[in-house]
Structure 1
Amino acid sequence: MQQFINVTLTGLTEGMVYAAFALALVLIWRSTRIVNFAQGSMAAATAFIALALIQAGWSYWAALVVALVSGFVMGAVIERVVVRRVEGGPELNAVIVTLGLFVAIQAGIAIVFGSSFQSFPTPFGLQGFQVGDNRIAFTPTSLYVIGAVLVTMGLLVALFRFTRVGLAMRASAFGQEVARLLGVRVGRMLTLGWGLAAVVGSLAGLLIAGGEFIYPAYMDSLIVFGFVAAVLGGLDSPIGAVVGGLILGLALSYVSGYVPRGSALVNVSALVILMVVLLVRPGGLFASSTARRA
């Protein structure tokens, strides 16, 4: 029973980490209809910026704010300078550009900050809570991660459902010409979408880094898991991203904890889950039929 509780709590925390990155993918998809494969490298870059500030004596929270602002600026600049050149062309062009950005940004991190492993601090403890005579695999940092992801999900839902800016961003993503006729400044909305997605991605990178060692490619595996979580829940749904992350985190935790040599099967299990979802419900668990036709 103790093992089951610990495995479940570990899966819950890891699932929320996957959900954090999935939210960034959902935001960029809803606002621009582009899957940004460079999101992981962008998040890693802002994490290294935050770490440099912390090492210089800044508080964690001040470094967090600077990292989020840096993420917004990076996302907006990339959209304006790079991605806008291929918008309106074949969809594959944008995918190739984001893959190129993924490699280029990661190389830039290695040049500026080095390739060595560096410890990233966390504002809260990493020791599990004591319940009776047992210490469970759930820490104050786990609470911080879960709370941050739930707040981010709530803000994204509110943005797209209840604000004119969110509606304008979705209109720009689905039909730029129609949106322009309605008075929407499409270029600004696309830039805003990239900036906000980069902010969420930066938050995900910092949540993932907390209490761990980071290096230029530390986000690589999370890119895969975050993408699977986003597809599982539905690329159009912030709530689906969180639910997909939780399902994936729990599933992989159970595989690792109970299947012989399960730790070696984690990546394969994620691939199997992705294939099943694409075969059974390609739009994801929370996708409507209208969203799939769009």
Structure 2
Amino acid sequence: MQTFIQLVVDGLSTGSIYAALALAIVLVNQATGLINFAQGGIAVLSAYIAYQFTVWGLPLILAILASVVVSFFIGAFIERYLMRRFEKGDPDTAVVVTIGLLTLITGICAWIWSYNNLQFPSLFPLDTVTILGAVVSVRSLGTIFVIVVIMLILQGLFVGTKLGLALRAVAINPESASFSGLKVGRLLMVGWGLAAALGAVAGAMVAPQLTLTPGMMDGALVYALAAVIIGGLSSPLGAVVAAWLIGVLENLAAVYVPFIGYDLRIAVPFILLFIVLILRPQGLFGRKVVVRV
């Protein structure tokens, strides 16, 4: 039982990292209708910015908050001066642009800070607590708590605020939104900026658990995309639940399913992905899209 609880809590902690990126992807999709593959690169750049602030002597919490603010403007800048040129064209072209942007940002991080592993300080203490006999790190619990708070904020943003409804309207039909008086360009910038700020939070949580390198988010991005598809592109709650489900099932399968083990546990989220796509293509919490012809 102790081992099971340990695996579940560790899975929730790992899943929370995937969830942070997944929420950013959902946010961009809700604001623009695009899948942003560059989100992992933006999170890495934000983590390096926070690291640089700590090098300059800023306390960690202030460094992270400063990186969130800087990342917001970076995201808005990317939308205004790069992505806007492609948003009215073929959506596939815009998606390819985000893939190229991921490569570019990763290269810029390597050029400025090199490929050497850097130690990023942890926002939470490295102490442990005992829950039903299982030893759980405070950092894991803190990571889970942060993701729950962000999820609730985003869910409330999209459902209960004028800004969230305006972002959704722009993503669904920018022309109609413009005729309704909404400032489409400004809203698109806000959507990208918020997603980049959320990526900064993801980077700050991932970097202490790994080491700060230009490619540290590559694996997490794959899991985050799987979580978004499983949970539903339109649901922040679905993205978080799916990310937690991936993290927990991956840990449990590695220990309790002999033929999977640690070597094949990466297949678990993709098996889950195939099952969800067959049974519920819109995702566990997604909405069916009805097109009138």
C-alpha distance after superposition, 1:23-58 (max 9, x if no partner): 111111111101000000010001011112213321
2:171 — aligned with what?
173
1:155 to 140, 153, 156: 153
Are 2:200 and 1:210 aligned?
no
Aligned residue pairs: how many? 291
Find the aligned partners of 1:215 and 1:15 in 2 and give their Cα distance: 20
Any gaps of 5 or more consecutive residues in structure 2? none
> SS of the counterpart of 1:266?
coil
Find the aligned partners of 1:21 and 1:197 in 2 and give their Cα distance: 9
C-alpha distance after superposition, 1:89-131 (max 9, x if no partner): 1111111100000000000000001101111111322232135
User: 1:266 is aligned with what amino acid?
Assistant: R
Change (3 A) 1:284 1:135: closer
Change (3 A) 1:279 1:220: same
Shift of 1:147: 1.5
1:285 — aligned with what?
284
2:239 — aligned with what?
241
CA contact 2:46–2:199 (8 Å) conserved in 1: no
CA contact 1:126–1:211 (8 Å) conserved in 2: no
CA contact 2:30–2:168 (8 Å) conserved in 1: yes
User: 1:144 is aligned with what amino acid?
Assistant: G
> SS of the counterpart of 1:130?
strand
2:19 — aligned with what?
19
Find the aligned partners of 1:108 and 1:202 in 2 and give their Cα distance: 17
1:276 — aligned with what?
275
Any gaps of 5 or more consecutive residues in structure 1? none
Identical aligned residues as a percent? 38
Find the aligned partners of 1:217 and 1:67 in 2 and give their Cα distance: 19
C-alpha distance after superposition, 1:35-91 (max 9, x if no partner): 000000010001011112213321111111111012111111110111011111111
> SS of the counterpart of 2:264?
helix
CA contact 1:119–1:211 (8 Å) conserved in 2: no
Shift of 1:210: 2.5
Give the alignment of 1:36-115 within 5 angstroms.
36-115=36-115
Find the aligned partners of 2:244 and 2:127 in 1 and give their Cα distance: 22
Find the aligned partners of 2:204 and 2:290 in 1 and give their Cα distance: 32
User: 2:217 is aligned with what amino acid?
Assistant: M
Find the aligned partners of 1:263 and 1:128 in 2 and give their Cα distance: 24
Find the aligned partners of 2:50 and 2:290 in 1 and give their Cα distance: 38
1:118 — aligned with what?
118
Find the aligned partners of 2:286 and 2:119 in 1 and give their Cα distance: 39
CA contact 1:22–1:227 (8 Å) conserved in 2: yes
Structure 1 window deviating more from structure 2 (267-276 vs 279-288): it is 267-276
TM-score by length of structure 1 reads 0.94
Change (3 A) 1:60 1:293: farther
User: 1:86 is aligned with what amino acid?
Assistant: F
Find the aligned partners of 1:67 and 1:49 in 2 and give their Cα distance: 6
C-alpha distance after superposition, 1:218-256 (max 9, x if no partner): 000000111111111111001111111111111111122
Find the aligned partners of 2:225 and 2:248 in 1 and give their Cα distance: 16
Q: RMSD in angstroms over aligned alpha carbons?
A: 1.6
CA contact 1:283–1:292 (8 Å) conserved in 2: no
User: 2:176 is aligned with what amino acid?
Assistant: V
Shift of 1:287: 1.3
User: 1:274 is aligned with what amino acid?
Assistant: L
> SS of the counterpart of 1:118?
coil
CA contact 1:26–1:237 (8 Å) conserved in 2: yes
Shift of 1:211: 3.8
Find the aligned partners of 1:292 and 1:238 in 2 and give their Cα distance: 21
CA contact 1:121–1:212 (8 Å) conserved in 2: no
User: 1:149 is aligned with what amino acid?
Assistant: I
Structure 1 window deviating more from structure 2 (254-263 vs 204-213): it is 254-263
> SS of the counterpart of 1:119?
coil
Find the aligned partners of 2:151 and 2:108 in 1 and give their Cα distance: 30
Shift of 1:292: 6.2
CA contact 1:17–1:207 (8 Å) conserved in 2: yes
Find the aligned partners of 1:173 and 1:206 in 2 and give their Cα distance: 28
Give the alignment of 1:186-197 within 5 angstroms.
186-197=184-195
Aligned structure 1 segments of 4 or more residues deviating by more than 6 angstroms: none
Structure 1 window deviating more from structure 2 (92-101 vs 239-248): it is 239-248
